[in-house]
Structure 1
Amino acid sequence: MRSLLVIHRQTPPSERSDSDSRTLLPEYILRSYGYQVHLARNEEQAIAGIGDADGAVLHLPVSEIKAWCGKLEKHKQTPVLWWCSDTAASMSLEACEDDVIIDGLLFPTMKAHELHWSLHFSSAHFYERQQWKNERKQLLARIEERKWIDMAKGILCELKNISESEAYDVLRKQAMNERKRMVDVATSIVKLYQLLQESGSGGAKKS
């Protein structure tokens, strides 16, 4: 990651501590280590900068991270890291139980090589997390498809007085003949059967 979107709000002077000096701000440190930084203090600026960013660094209380992740995901899937400064940490004491998912932590005291490796492993964690999400999505889709196919097989078994394996063959052949996916054929059968049942037109009548 060489280009980073840094998001943090302006800390009022009354809330600012000595640790909030310019040299400890994420944009200053990251730029001093050779990273390209787009600074955002509101959603509009963040959306404008997320397109070219390799990752997002949030210098915010933990309680605000989840909402920001949701905003960013609408525009781009990218690694998200928390900049854990004294101020951000002290403002997050009551958020320990919050359900927040981030890919890594960065600290103002990190040296260049420490920050490099933290970004490296955070990026790897992000891509592993994305792969897991995609695999989960595919698994849920297969389970949903299996549900429709099993329902259609049950209907065919009832209407045609055939076995499950024979019903499966009927679905497979019809899908091939119509050049459709088997789940699409199964869904059509189930929905038509349900419609006939609701209309009382004798959809359960055996052939």
Structure 2
Amino acid sequence: MDKRLAIMIIEADETRAATIVDGLREAGDFEIHTVSDSAGLARRIAETRPDVVLIDLADPSRDILEELALASGPTERPVAMFVDRSDAPLTRAAIEAGVSAYVVDGLRGDRIKPILDAAIARFHMFQRMRAELAATRAALEERKIIDRAKAILMKARGIDEEAAYALLRKTAMDQGKRVAEIAQQLVMAAGLLT
């Protein structure tokens, strides 16, 4: 059985909060938490651990945006922000903070579910990109370590690059480790000897 999507709504105005709640209830079966006061927001989000955060701000300030960005953990969950007016610097700051959807003058019940879906899709897309970037950086670092280890072996043993890599690979297989681990150990040992 699938877990119900937990959504935290941050909205000080009860009427606007009710519009969001009604729009969500019409769109599906969600676990909805409404917060009207942003004081202690980080603690509330940490306790509730919502899957998605919907923020509705009539007039957002940079301070509120920074607090919400820190509290809502945009890298941990999708965040959709509804605002009443367009402001290029605040839009840019929201996107840079990781807000998945920044919607100007779009708070209507029938639009909430599509916006929520778009925010979730965009969040997952960026999560995949972050994971791919981290994996690429890790692979590059491993490649650098392996190249350093090969250079050490080539100098110490007077062998060519292919033979150095073959030696690293054989040692890794013999020890049941990855080539990068053996290379890291060799680089560290060589560092101690110099």
- Write the distance in 1 (CA, Å) between the matches of 2:18 and 2:102: 17
- Which residue of 33, 39, 44 corresponds with 2:34? 39
Superimposed CA distance per residue, residues 183-205 of structure 1 (whole angstroms, 9 cap, x where no aligned partner): 110011011111110xxxxxxxx
CA contact (8 A) 2:82 2:103 kept: yes
Secondary structure in 1 matching 2:7: strand
Residue of structure 2 equivalent to 1:178: 175
Deviation at 1:4, TM superposition (A): 1.5
Q: Larger Rg: 1 or 2?
A: 1
Deviation at 1:108, TM superposition (A): 6.3
The one-letter code of the counterpart of 1:69 is A
- Write the distance in 2 (CA, Å) between the matches of 1:117 and 1:97: 22
- Which residue of 119, 131, 134 corresponds with 1:134? 131
Kindly indicate whether residue 152 of structure 2 is the aligned counterpart of residue 162 of structure 1: no
CA contact (8 A) 1:3 1:55 kept: yes
- Which residue of 146, 150, 155 corresponds with 2:147? 150
Deviation at 1:48, TM superposition (A): 1.8
Secondary structure in 2 matching 1:31: helix
Superimposed CA distance per residue, residues 65-111 of structure 1 (whole angstroms, 9 cap, x where no aligned partner): 3443334439x82101112135xx6xx67645533321113466543
Residue of structure 2 equivalent to 1:29: 19
- Write the distance in 1 (CA, Å) between the matches of 2:6 and 2:105: 18
- Write the distance in 1 (CA, Å) between the matches of 2:188 and 2:164: 17
Matches for 1:1-207 after TM superposition, within 5 Å = 2-8=5-11, 22-23=14-15, 25=16, 27-33=17-23, 34=25, 36-40=31-35, 41=38, 42=40, 43-49=42-48, 51=49, 53-60=50-57, 61=60, 63=62, 64-73=64-73, 77-85=76-84, 95=90, 98=93, 99-106=96-103, 110-197=107-194
Deviation at 1:139, TM superposition (A): 0.3
Superimposed CA distance per residue, residues 44-63 of structure 1 (whole angstroms, 9 cap, x where no aligned partner): 222222x2x23102235352
Superimposed CA distance per residue, residues 97-138 of structure 1 (whole angstroms, 9 cap, x where no aligned partner): 533321113466543332221111111111101000000010
CA contact (8 A) 1:58 1:65 kept: no
Superimposed CA distance per residue, residues 156-201 of structure 1 (whole angstroms, 9 cap, x where no aligned partner): 000000000000000000000111111110011011111110xxxx
**TM-score, normalised to structure 1's length?**
0.74
Instruction: Note closer, same or farther for the CA distance 1:37–1:95 as it changes in structure 2 (3 Å cut).
Output: same
Secondary structure in 1 matching 2:98: coil
Secondary structure in 1 matching 2:9: strand
CA contact (8 A) 2:22 2:109 kept: no
CA contact (8 A) 1:79 1:126 kept: yes
- Write the distance in 2 (CA, Å) between the matches of 1:110 and 1:95: 18
Secondary structure in 2 matching 1:59: strand
The one-letter code of the counterpart of 1:7 is I
Deviation at 1:28, TM superposition (A): 1.5
The one-letter code of the counterpart of 1:32 is D
Structure 2: state its 5+ residue gaps: none
CA contact (8 A) 1:148 1:187 kept: yes
Aligned residues: 177
